[in-house]
Each structure stands twice: as structure tokens, then as C-alpha cells.
């Protein structure tokens, strides 16, 4: 239970990784990944237009680059909520003990 508590108390973007070479576990930090419209224009290449989410969406529609992979965050949030409700809706038995015969 101590290990579970330790995992739950980790700050965001931190995780444990098993180090097979050294034989142990290490904690690593993953940097935040900015939204595409927050990147500097030089890093965006052909998608340089748009400094807000709406402008970026318009640029994607015009250029047709990555349109197949672009999903609206509101749709993702709705789908996540629906899936979570479906997963948590199943009732678990009050006890796992088998009935006496």
C-alpha cells in the first residue's frame, strides 16, 4: 500500500521507470507539450498562421494538413465522459465471498 500511495502522490508529469541496467527504479519527469498554436511560428512550418485555437483550426482546414488526425477537444471530452460512465456503471458485488452451500 505504501507504493500505491507514493504513486498517487506523484506530481503531474512524473513517473517511475524500471532501470534494468542498474537494477532499480528511477523517477523521471516528462516536459509539458504545448498546444500547436502555442509554438513559435518558425516551428509550425506551413501551419504558421494562427495564434489562437480558432485561428489554428481555420489554418488546418485551409491547408488540409493533419485534418484526418485533428479532433476537437470538446468531442474528446464528451467521449471520455461517456466511456468513464460506462466503465463505472457496472455494479460490483458487495462481497467476493462465495455463497455457502
Would you say residue 99 lies in a domain? no
Residue 19 maps to a domain: yes
Domain total for the chain?
A: 1
Dump pLDDT digits (tens) for 60-82: 888 887 777 878 888 999 999 99
The answer as to whether 94 is a domain residue is no
Task: Assess if residue 83 is contained within a domain.
Answer: yes
Is the pTM for the entire model greater than 0.75? no
- How many residues make up the chain in this entry? 101
7 vs 12, 13, 18, 22, CA distance in Å?
A: 11, 12, 14, 21
The answer to the question of residue 30 being in a domain is yes
Q: CA angle at residue 75 from 73 to 77, to 5 degrees?
A: 70
Domain that holds residue 52: 2-89
Confidence of residue 1 (pLDDT cuts 50, 70, 90): low
User: Got the DSSP string for the chain?
Assistant: -HHHHHHHTSPTTEEEEEETTTTEEEEEE-PPPPPGGGS-HHHHGGG---SSHHHHHHHHHHH-SSTTT---HHHHHHHHHHHHHHHHHSPPPS--PPPP-
15 belongs to a structural domain: yes
Amino acid at each position: 500500500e505504501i507504493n500505491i500511495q507514493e504513486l498517487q502522490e506523484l506530481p503531474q508529469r512524473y513517473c517511475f521507470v524500471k532501470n534494468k541496467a542498474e537494477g532499480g527504479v528511477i523517477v523521471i519527469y516528462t516536459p509539458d507539450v504545448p498546444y500547436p498554436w502555442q509554438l513559435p511560428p518558425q516551428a509550425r512550418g506551413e501551419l504558421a498562421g494562427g495564434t489562437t485555437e480558432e485561428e489554428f483550426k481555420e489554418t488546418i482546414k485551409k491547408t488540409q494538413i493533419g485534418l484526418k488526425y485533428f479532433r476537437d477537444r470538446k468531442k474528446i471530452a464528451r467521449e471520455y465522459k461517456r466511456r468513464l460512465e460506462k466503465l463505472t456503471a457496472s455494479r460490483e458485488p458487495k462481497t467476493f465471498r462465495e455463497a455457502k452451500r
